[in-house]
Amino acid sequence: MPDYDDLAARIRALTHGETDEVALMATLACEIHHSDARFDWTGFYRVTAPELLKIGPYQGGHGCLVIPFSRGVCGAAARTRQTQLVPDVEAFPGHIACASSTRSELVIPVIGKGGRLIGVLDIDSDRPDAFTQEDADRLQEILDDTFGRD
């Protein structure tokens, strides 16, 4: 498990004063991805149209380019604005297999000022049951701090 206090401090230092959401996403994707060997794919899907996510900055192999809110784990997180902690992607109804190696997934909605849904942070692992509630909670804190959730 990453040292989340160190990760949060590093991200805060790297992003201080930055307001561009894509630049922030790129920095977070890199820092989070390299903080833990469990994280096989780490990236953002951005809300680019009503009920539609498009790939944003990421680390790892190719991801899906477009995900409607109605499909997959990322779509469920965007649609419900609730974190999706999925220990076994094969058991998730409507899972979209962007990479055949993915076994478990953690997707956290990214909420900005005024409650605006910016997108989702998607972390995939090639290990089953790779993520904990602590991962979800600590990463949520980092997202809220970075994107200015009210």
Q: Which residues of the chain, if any, have pLDDT below 50?
A: none
What pTM does this model have?
0.95
| Whole-number pLDDT of residue 96 | 76
| Whole-number pLDDT of residue 58 | 98
Are the beta carbons of 93 and 127 closer than 8 angstroms? Answer: no
| Whole-number pLDDT of residue 91 | 87
The H or E element containing residue 31 is helix 21-33
| Whole-number pLDDT of residue 149 | 67
CATH numbers and ranges of domains, the chain: 4-147 (3.30.450.40)
Question: Tokens at residue 37, please?
Answer: 């060997």
Rounded to whole angstroms, how far apart are CA atoms 37 and 78? 26
